[in-house]
Amino acid sequence: MRRRKTRSINQQRTEPQAGIRVSAAAAVSLQSQIRQQVIEHILAGQFPPGQRLPSSRKLSLQLGVARNTVLLAYQGLIEQGHLIARARSGLYLNESLAKGPNAEVRIGGPVRPAARADWSRHLRNAGAQLSRQQYPSNWQGYAYPFIEGCFDRSLFPGLEWRHASRAALTPRQIERWSTDSEEADDPQLIHEIRTKLLPRRGISASADEIMVTAGAEQALHLATELLVKRGTSVAVEEPGHVAMRELVKQHRGKLLLQAVDDSGLIVSSALDRSEVVYVTPSHQRPTAVTLSLERRTALLDKAREREFVILEDDVDSAINYLENAPPALRALPGGERVVYMSDFSRILAPAVRLGYLVADPELIAAARRLRTLYSRHPPLISQRILALLLASGDYDVAMLRLARLFRERLMALRDALNHYLQRFIAIAPARGGTTYWVRGPKGIDATDLARLAAQRGILIEPVAPYFARTNRHRNLFRLGITGVPLERIRSGVAELAELLRGMDRKTQRAARVKSHRWLDGEALRRQMSGASILCKTIYGHPCTIELRENGRMVGRAGYADEDRDEGRWWIDGDRWFRQWRHWSYAEPTGFFIRVQGEHIQWFNERHQLVDAAIFAPAGRKS
């Protein structure tokens, strides 16, 4: 009895209390959690040399996990050299870890300086703007994250990435990619870019005309560093990519703002003073419109005439689902004056952020030297994994799946906006795009709206920062579909519509209109029978709704009436009801109606304005 008590006392002295916590809900296995936390305790000095670690039996009881889980974790730590097993004694810290050159730092912990230096007079460019909008780091925790360019977890091609990762770690592959040099790019990745990706954009390039970069951002930075200096006139799109404007300012260039319309960058005499023109022709940042083939030809002709250089940022070309997309500027006659940059799908960004630069060999050679000076090449294992992903065809399969999902989501957003917020649409989506632009009522600041929407779990993106003239477009924002699941889109737009109407001062005034201003049941029946309603869809197409006297309703939308539907309408009390077979979710909806001359207005049950259109009574031709 006395010996058992003595052993217990010794055990308490030699086995420190382990403050290890594990969770079955964590992203990593229980075994990995134990291994990581033991290492953290060792580095923090909580398991000092000469003291025994908790036994596997004791730690398993403490954590409530299987003893085998702890044994396997300990075995891994022994194999890695962190722990030493002593026969009939237990596990101990490998004392050689505490005798290395940094042992005191590891065991004692970092020491904070007593005072802070004044960096204000040393820092340059501390006020540089961010390249995109701010959004919460936990954006996936919001119910409705309508943030463009943020991809929800379900879209990541995890299975395909695991296959490529395992293939890249075979001994034969390791031997191929582990040979390092200052200017190296993975030759297999260069081959895949040259033979698979670039031909789809119409570009033919040799290996010495291609360089791998750490995303399109580094490609843009390197090109700007090489081509822009103090006083260089650089034309950029307005609205446009915030990062490009900032890079021009950092290099003391002269910024020339060039307007954008539904066909992309406007090519005019205003470009004559340019030395460099930055353009995003496939998906214009941020409107997503596509530069027409006519504009592309005109831009290249002007570049040849005025001898300026074009920076072509082919952003998101990997998920371009345009039919008959125009070729890249680099691929057209005159493309020798174009520096082309693109990236792999941003869906892969959490795993690898890689892009590529394509230009004449002289510029690529200069860019390589500059990249070496700044950061050397991107990690070769990341390049090889991506090369294997491309070679297997899995990348293409993943991009096709993304295109299908984005079509479905964009159609869902279109239908929701058409149903809840039709009169607020500002810019129709580009074919192949992933956003809609919404114009709030006058007097509403989209930044305030975004703050209030976030409180309801809705994330939206004000677009004013994309304009250099920030005093304009304060009520504009955009909704993206890359981060919000399909099944949440409708409810998110419905919630946003309710918030937006509540902030609309005009709507609030309309709510105070006395009830006798609405058409009563008899007047409704008289006015609506045989009438036609003329309006536009959210994507700008004309729409005609015919209200037959027998209660039948016929709708035609599109320039060739290609979109058709039928339904019924009826009167219930003092409200007019309609129900389509397919449009508006095929749900019955009731409105209070007001007709003033040739205009008709719909109000919901709260007397808030929902929509307005041109009204043609029976007997009047539309």
Residue 453 above 80 pLDDT? Answer: yes
Residue 475 above 70 pLDDT? Answer: yes
Q: What is the pLDDT of residue 362?
A: 95
Q: What is the pLDDT of residue 7?
A: 39
Question: Helices 242-250 and 215-227 sit at what angle, rounded to 10 degrees?
Answer: 30
Asked if 359 and 340 count as a contact pair (C-beta separation under 8 A), the reply is yes
Q: Are residues 380 and 471 in the same domain?
A: no
**Looking at the domain assignment, is residue 132 inside a domain?**
no
Q: Which structural domain, as residue segments, surrounds residue 465?
A: 412-503
Q: Are residues 461 and 526 in the same domain?
A: no
Q: Are residues 337 and 462 in the same domain?
A: no
pTM attached to this predicted model: 0.78
Q: Are residues 468 and 553 in the same domain?
A: no
Q: Are residues 464 and 363 in the same domain?
A: no
Number of domains in the chain: 4
Q: Are strands 532-536 and 309-313 parallel, antiparallel or unpaired?
A: unpaired
CATH number at residue 535: 2.40.128.20
Q: Are residues 185 and 327 in the same domain?
A: yes
Q: Which of 116-120, 377-381, 505-509, 574-578 has the lowest mean pLDDT?
A: 505-509
Residue 45's region, left for phi above 0, alpha for psi from -120 to 50, else beta, is left
pLDDT tens-place string over residues 378-428 = 888 889 999 999 999 998 888 888 888 998 998 899 889 888 887 777 666
Q: Are residues 46 and 170 in the same domain?
A: no
CATH number at residue 436: 3.90.1150.10
Average pLDDT over residues 56-62: 86
pLDDT tens-place string over residues 78-88 = 887 888 888 77
Average pLDDT over residues 82-111: 65
Dihedral through CA 179, CA 185, CA 186, CA 192, nearest 10? Answer: -170
Q: Are residues 268 and 369 in the same domain?
A: yes
Asked if 483 and 151 count as a contact pair (C-beta separation under 8 A), the reply is yes
**Looking at the domain assignment, is residue 8 inside a domain?**
yes
In 3-state terms, what secondary structure has residue 565?
strand
Residue 480 above 80 pLDDT? Answer: yes
Residue 510 above 70 pLDDT? Answer: no
Q: Are residues 482 and 573 in the same domain?
A: no
CATH number at residue 32: 1.10.10.10
CA distance 537 to 501: 20
**Looking at the domain assignment, is residue 445 inside a domain?**
yes
Q: Tokens 């019955």 sit at which residue?
A: 588
